[in-house]
Chains A and B, each alone.
Chain A
Amino acid sequence: MVDFITGHYAYWFTLSLLCVGLYGIIFKRNLVKKVIGLAIFQASVVLFFVSIASKWDATVTVIDKNIPVEQVESYLNPLPHTLMLTAIVVGVATLGVAFTLLIAIYNRYGTLDEQELLEKIQ
């Protein structure tokens, strides 16, 4: 039972960040806070991918003169890191679009609170 908690702490971190992000998206009324929750949600998935790439006693994926390339258990798995580079850029682009939409909403309605916006649209 103890090993279930302490042996998998990377997954517990991922799960808690995911829950914090979902809480922000659903329960916060201000639209900017929803966007921050979305960013935390995406960061949790990045953390998950990076955590599955790790190995015991492994070094970064840069060729070291002392360690031959064929000895793969001394190098980290580079594929999830590469995938997460792209995923981080996608997250940045999503934040850019989200904030531009928020500026357009603010210029048209004057408020960024979800309840007031729903009343003004109806």
Chain B
Amino acid sequence: MIETHLPAIIALTFVLFALLIPLFGLWKEQLCQPLAVLGSGLATTFSLLAFITYLQTGSIRYFFGGWEPPIGIEFVYDGLSGFILIVINSVAFLALIYAKKPGRMEFQGKELAYYALAMLMMLGFNGMVLTGDLFNLYVFLEISSLSSYALISIGNKPAPFAAFRYLIVGTAGGTLYLLGVGFLYTNTGTLNIIDMSAMLPMLVDNSSVVTALILMVVGIGVKAAIFPLHGWLPDSYTYASTPSSTLIAPIGTKVAAYILFRIMLYLFGIDLTDAVFPLSYIVGVFACIGIIYGSVMAIAQTEMKRMLAYSSVSQIGYIIMGLSLANPFGFAGALLHVLNHAVMKACLFMITGNLRYKEGHSNISLFNDSYRIKYPWTMASFSVAAISMVGLPPLAGFFSKWYLVLGTIDNSNWIFLAVIIVSSLLNAVYFFRILEKVYMKNPDAEQQPDTAVEIKYDDVSPSMMSPMAILAVGLFVIGFANAAIVGFLLGIFPM
């Protein structure tokens, strides 16, 4: 009986805990973080249950209020939304476990607000992934965006200004998306994605439908940080506090990329998207420029969080490029890269948080090889994540790039292929220089006498280390199990 209600239960869990956290937090402050971990853990369990039910019985369509579409709003749980749900809920669970000690250090006294906002933001993301109605998607988009503006502003001194700039750009993008939905409603008379995708092939040469598509892609592209619209990302991820970055960075842009998948491949279909002018090719070109731009700017940074932010701009370019290829291998490569990048970026931001917690800074030019002795497990996880980002087998990053390369060869897009290979080399530059600083002794440094400060093992506590270690081991697991994952993804390609 519970299986039919699972799509709603996943979202309602977050609502329930977003209400319980202020209630119990006003009574006792220490209860906030365990309640948040419990909430996201329950949601992850329900997502896994729903995925197993999906594999046995097929898609679940849930009609709110008992009203069937096109009158009512529905939640659609199919293969694509189920996959993305598992990714975002499990990464959020690990990020909330991690947030206990850095949260106490960085925003003492505001923990109730932080965890309640984190629950609301996850409600917004889950709702965006599950919904099958275009206006409902706008509502959940704004819920998650407002919570993330507030989460980013809990940080050090420049954080509210970075959050304000993100607010202006993000709200403008959401409003453009709403205008596009208005154009589509005027032409078709319905707001349901499944119903509209049956009506759109008859309207292909209507100029307002083409305008609606462009408005929606630009509006969601702001949240997904595609190349010319990425300006809010570096400041926001750098100045936010460590737990906020670990929660928002792996998840936020991926959900926006999922919406682009829905709009361009499911709602319009690739034939309609390219009917009037080659929109998917233009989006692919911008994605390639973003890949190269992100990698080059990341090499120029000295602060590790800012470097990871520019690296995020580059990696989201891979996903959008896979979308623009629109063939099965590109689709599978892009979605596998969603999974890989969420795990890798969460692990990397946790490592940065560990270094900030212990050393007080994360400035790359001040790293030295005493880190190898003081933080062995942190640096080992960093090596695993860095090798996976560059794309070396048998780790997970190699396989997503491999399938993207196969997709570009299928389309004979040799420029995209060259971009992937060149950017992997650029990734190697900015990750391996940190490994060199940490693991290899600098031959130019003066021979220090046996110093008074003894360098010994000083790694972080289990609550901070275990999520990071689980994510690093997870990269190996995804790498070995990638055949099963890619087989599933090739099966849900929409045509």
Whether both chains belong to one complex is answered with yes
A: residues with CB less than 8 A from B are: 22, 25, 31, 34-35, 38, 41-42, 45, 48-49, 52, 79-80, 83, 86-87, 90, 93-94, 97-98, 101-102, 104-105, 108-109, 117, 121
A45 close to B179 (CB less than 8 A): yes
Mark each residue of chain B from 172 to 187: 1 if its CB lies under 8 Å from any CB of chain A, else 0: 1001001100100110
User: How far does the Cβ of B403 sit from chain A's closest Cβ, in whole Å?
Assistant: 38
Q: List 14 A-B contacts (CB under 8 A).
A: A38-B168, A41-B172, A41-B175, A49-B182, A52-B182, A52-B186, A86-B135, A94-B146, A94-B171, A98-B167, A104-B153, A105-B164, A108-B160, A117-B161
Compute how far the CA of A112 lies from the CA of B160 in the bound complex, rounded to whole angstroms.
12
Q: Which of B154-176 contact A (CB under 8 A)?
A: 157-158, 160-161, 163-164, 167-168, 171-172, 175
Q: Is the interface of B mostly helix, strand, loop or mixed?
A: helix
B160 close to A94 (CB less than 8 A): no
Is B142 engaged at the interface, CB distance under 8 Å to the other chain? yes
Q: Which of B28-57 contact A (CB under 8 A)?
A: none
Total cross-chain contacts (CB, 8 A): 65
Chain A residue nearest to B153 in the complex (CB): A101
A38 close to B171 (CB less than 8 A): yes
B160 close to A104 (CB less than 8 A): yes
Q: Is the interface of A mostly helix, strand, loop or mixed?
A: helix
Q: Which residues of A contact B225 (CB under 8 A)?
A: none
B: residues with CB less than 8 A from A are: 135, 138-139, 142, 146, 149-150, 153, 157-158, 160-161, 163-164, 167-168, 171-172, 175, 178-179, 182, 185-186
User: How far does the Cβ of B34 sit from chain A's closest Cβ, in whole Å?
Assistant: 27
Compute how far the CA of A22 lies from the CA of B175 in the bound complex, rounded to whole angstroms.
12
A101 close to B182 (CB less than 8 A): no
Per CB-CB distance, the 10 closest pairs between chain A and chain B, nearest first, are A104-B160, A90-B142, A101-B164, A105-B160, A101-B160, A121-B158, A45-B179, A52-B186, A94-B171, A49-B182
For A97, give its contact among B167, B179, B185 (CB under 8 Å): B167
Compute how far the CA of A33 lies from the CA of B465 in the bound complex, rounded to whole angstroms.
45
Q: Which residues of B contact A105 (CB under 8 A)?
A: 160-161, 164
Chain B residue nearest to A94 in the complex (CB): B171
Chain A residue nearest to B139 in the complex (CB): A86
Chain A residue nearest to B190 in the complex (CB): A79
For A94, give its contact among B142, B153, B158 (CB under 8 Å): B142
Compute how far the CA of A121 lies from the CA of B239 in the bound complex, rounded to whole angstroms.
11
